[in-house]
Structure 1
């Protein structure tokens, strides 16, 4: 009784018969339990019968224990039985193969104890079927063997780290790339092999990527023991169990030094090519400028207005081509021309040269489109011919509000260029395909060069609509001429 507290009354404990407890354990055990004397079964529990495929212990009592042992193992078990009978000390724990009633065999684990009773030696065995366990071990061994064969024949380095990032395995290719053996790697650690200039960045990426994504991927420089620097690509993935606990990491290592060298050489070659192309476009533009200057000098000396007009038109056509090379020289993209910027600049220059109509308003609606050099050249010449013709001929008697509208837009895989004025237009009986003037014939030729179509109408002024396909990479490589 606890002093100062209430009295506690406990129910009396029931009396247990030890024999009943032993009997209950024996009958209900999931392990096979059997008792034998002189190599003969004395009694067995239900789990024992079930393990060997028998219905009751009556089928086994009195039978030799060797009847339940696979033939290949009987001599060994017989030896153990005789050792116990003579008082020797055979193994108390071992594995062997059992033989079921249907003739099938299985792996079993045997725990043995012996005791004396009434002058006789009795042997108590506890058996467990370990077939599935052993099969799992075999599969694991086979899997490990396949992995090692695969890892050793892989063209890339492979390594395993535990959860504390200690190395557990590296393959031969890893050792070739790093120039280290496994024991050397364990002594130095992989971080010490990283180039000093890259080490801090690699550590930052490692600690940032792995916890967040379970992945790590980076290219960096690696220092071999000889002092040689190699570029490597490392990929690492975490290994987790079904509870998503990280158990370790598996990684690959690839020597990309040659690829890096090729990339640097290619980059240098491309930079040199770009410089060369810029210089070429610059010189072509200068040559065009020289030709235009010569034409201007010639025009000043001419007194014939018709000849001056012809030279002026030729000069303007050359200018439209020179402007393409000028844009390429100034552009970051050496393959394509900004068509919006190109046509806008052509409009400004042609307006300065040809506008004689008071209060003329030019409305531009130009979509930002980029086209290859050759397509831009044809489009610029076409644009020059149509706009110059409108500026020179559309308004002999200007209307109250003279206007030219220019539209550039994409329509799916095609480009549409429209130009409309509110001038006099063509005569009602005029057919452009029958025209003999150089300008109109040049327009039709340029539309054909662009693989395009055109529509022209002369209601309320002249309205041109030209559509042509936007050049694809294939057509850029082989432009239509």
Structure 2
């Protein structure tokens, strides 16, 4: 008896796969998809089979420059040229709706080549994981990051050396002299605009990053030669990230420091008469404060980039507290840089704005201030700022349901010393310390720097903390 073996129906097996799979020919024409893929993308086989992937899934006209057809095609062609799988970073790729319009979606596609008997790539299997929910959840943190970048004139970027995929904020295009959306999905045109004398060093750092472990910090400064011939100076900071497959990806920020370089040149070329030396001293002090502010802002941006990868709420909160502490110091140098007096901080203006920074979240408790017209040197203003940040942040966190105001005052006493006071009528946590061990140590350390005496009371009447300290160091 002869048994006839039935041919294997691979198309039926593909359709029944529980994971979303799309099958492309080497010309990127769609030839098949699993039922899971069709459900995920809200399409049918008749909608997509026989069509080029970028035609079957066109760009959302309302999200030009955001929906990332460019990097998707670069990834697919990289697989064809190397014969190796490629895992993409998160991309936005919106899905056309049957009734018109687009649904916003975010994905992490994995592209895997399939070679024929002769070793030539015949097909690519796309396995797109829908990560829209997790991306939407992280939007608030991303929004805070974008606001922080904008406030500090920072531009964000992400680079993948293996494919040359180059994703960046619009500010990067502006820095390199490209019109929005004209730079393309790869980094080559941007490397072409780097100054030839700096390009070797930049390439060396990129090459060293390829062999570096996850979270390696990257620092590189270079010049950009604009089409007009003008030179732009930038400082870039970033870190190495590795995908689940071990591929290297780098993320970071850019800062335009052209104005800093111009001021340096101006200072070095200045004629040093006695009057000009005094003016130069003021300019130099302002420049120092500006540089310190910029450097600390890069630290804040790096912390925020790292915080985005955390899932543990306690770890995220710890990063947010660290960022707030650094920003309290940044605010002092920023005030000095933006005022004519580079030696004294107007504490009424400074503390009022610091309170606004701390209470800008929706539903946050308000802070009322009563601050005398007091000017303090940088070495006195910074400890005061850190103390205010710690005490206010702790009160805000511990009594989120309280709608009463927190009171902040800085007064000059009859003795000539100064008294900083933070109080409210909330007795929540009565009998418990209002600060973490680290926060309490910071406050005590800052009070000691001021040669001051710190007192804290929490009873049924509410909370009161104060520091009495001399105006000048004794």
TM range (shorter): 0.3 to 0.5
When Rg is computed on C-alpha atoms for both structures, the one with the higher figure is 1
Q: What TM-score, normalized to structure 1? A: 0.40
Q: What TM-score, normalized to structure 2? A: 0.40
